[in-house]
Amino acid sequence: MFVVSLYIMIFSRNFILISLVCSNLLLGEQVLSKPISENTSTPPEIIFQILASEIALLSGNIPSAALTYLDVASKTKDIGAAKRATELALAIGDNETALKGATIWLTVDKTDVSARETVKVLLLVTEKYDQLMQILAAERETFRGKGNVESFYNELSVLVNQTKNVKKGLEIFENISKKDQTLPNVMYSRAMLYYRNGDSQKMEEILRNLVNLKPDHAQALNALGYSMADANNNLKEAQRLIKAALRFAPQDPHIIDSMGWINFRLGNLELAKKWLEKAYDSQPDAEISAHYGEVLWALSKREFALKIFSSGFKKKSE
């Protein structure tokens, strides 16, 4: 028995990647909290259902196995069976069944962080927004009571950014954060969500307020400067903002990337190449690769540029 991280692509109206961290949950493992032979109180019909599920799995009938484990979990409130039902349902993209299994799992152990996170993501995927916001509102107050509400909003930002329904993600964040929209991390998350939603003007407004409130906020300075550089607007101000961000976070690859990109926009190709090469060496993700490749292409280093573009495409596909 050991902890595994299971990365599953959930197929619904939107493609959403969730990370489900499960303990003691492997295909072929014992499901009940104790081995069946030691669980003397387990009714024979439950044992039969578990055996039938395993036979179904061996024959490749995952939907049947998932439903049977869900039934076992409903009757016994066994965490192992609930986790197994959740895992199997996720494997076949049956989000409704997965949610039912995860809900039983959380009901039995309300302190299990993995259960809670799984339920929240599945409520988001299945568009049960009212239920999700009830959970989030309660969590917010729990975190507030512990004096750690900033951590809650960091987690909320990660959650809502997983949905392709950007408008709904923004709506959820705005609704939950109404009382706390002067907190720096809430301001930054709101700005990025507005940017994803196509509202650059609102993003700029929030970021300028944030920089006025907290002049050393490197990510806000960088986001504001980069958005200008990317739109090819106010390039001198963009350069000033990005330079300021770099002073506060000189090793941040995304800020280094922004320095390269603003120099590209200003026509300083060799300087742009220098900065983007440094960013790429530090973190060769899809966006940095795209910027680096474009500068190399402009410098007529096209064979090398194609290799960088290819590398970035692979990173984006992973």
Please report, in angstroms and rounded to a whole number, the separation of the first and last CA atoms in the chain.
Answer: 28
Q: Is the pLDDT of residue 35 over 70?
A: no
Q: Note whether 152 and 76 are same-domain residues.
A: no
The whole-number average pLDDT for the span 1-6 is 29
Q: Note whether 7 and 98 are same-domain residues.
A: yes
Q: Is the pLDDT of residue 17 over 70?
A: no
Q: Which residue has the higher pLDDT, 3 or 127?
A: 127
The whole-number average pLDDT for the span 227-245 is 96
Query: Which of 45-54, 83-92, 182-191, 260-269 is the least confident region?
Result: 45-54
Q: How buried is residue 277: exposed, middle or buried, by Cβ count under 10 Å (0-12/13-18/19+)?
A: middle
Q: Is the pLDDT of residue 14 over 80?
A: no
Q: What is the CATH number for 180?
A: 1.25.40
Q: Is the pLDDT of residue 15 over 70?
A: no
Q: Note whether 194 and 308 are same-domain residues.
A: no
The whole-number average pLDDT for the span 100-124 is 95
Q: Note whether 119 and 136 are same-domain residues.
A: no
Task: Note the pLDDT of residue 42.
Answer: 67
Query: Which of 31-45, 56-70, 270-284 is the least confident region?
Result: 31-45
Q: How buried is residue 223: exposed, middle or buried, by Cβ count under 10 Å (0-12/13-18/19+)?
A: buried
Task: Note the pLDDT of residue 318.
Answer: 59
Q: Is the pLDDT of residue 30 over 90?
A: no
Domain region containing 253: 215-318
CA quadruple 76, 80, 84, 90: dihedral, nearest 10: 100
Q: Is the pLDDT of residue 207 over 80?
A: yes
Can you tell me the distance from the alpha carbon of 54 to that of 111, in angstroms, rounded to the nearest whole number?
Answer: 29
Q: Note whether 167 and 95 are same-domain residues.
A: no
Task: Note the pLDDT of residue 220.
Answer: 98
Task: Note the pLDDT of residue 175.
Answer: 97
The whole-number average pLDDT for the span 118-123 is 97
Of 66, 96, 126, the position where a domain reaches its end is 126
The whole-number average pLDDT for the span 4-25 is 33
Name the β-bridge partners of 22: 4
Can you tell me the distance from the alpha carbon of 75 to that of 77, in angstroms, rounded to the nearest whole number?
Answer: 6
Q: Note whether 291 and 310 are same-domain residues.
A: yes
Question: pTM surpassing 0.75?
Answer: yes
Query: Which of 1-5, 77-81, 196-200, 309-313 is the least confident region?
Result: 1-5
Q: Are 238 and 262 a contacting pair, CB within 8 Å?
A: yes
Q: Note whether 85 and 135 are same-domain residues.
A: no
Of 196, 214, 232, the position where a domain reaches its end is 214
Q: Note whether 145 and 111 are same-domain residues.
A: no
- How high does pLDDT run on average in the chain? 86
User: Looking up tokens 């959820």, which residue turns up?
Assistant: 172
Of 67, 102, 126, the position where a domain reaches its end is 126
Q: How confident is the model at residue 85 (pLDDT cuts 50, 70, 90)?
A: very high
The whole-number average pLDDT for the span 20-45 is 44
Can you tell me the distance from the alpha carbon of 274 to that of 268, in angstroms, rounded to the nearest whole number?
Answer: 10
Q: Note whether 77 and 193 are same-domain residues.
A: no
Q: What is the CATH number for 17?
A: 1.25.40.10
Long-range contact pairs involving 186-195 (C-beta distance under 8 Å, separation at least 24)? 186/153, 187/213, 187/220, 188/217, 188/219, 188/220, 188/223, 189/153, 189/154, 189/156, 189/157, 191/220, 191/223, 192/157, 192/161, 192/223, 193/157, 193/160, 193/161, 193/166, 193/169, 194/170, 195/223, 195/227
Q: Note whether 153 and 140 are same-domain residues.
A: yes
Q: Note whether 104 and 28 are same-domain residues.
A: yes
The whole-number average pLDDT for the span 98-103 is 97
Task: Note the pLDDT of residue 317.
Answer: 59
- Domain total in the chain: 3
Q: Note whether 132 and 187 are same-domain residues.
A: yes
Tell me the percentage of the chain whose pLDDT exceeds 70. 86
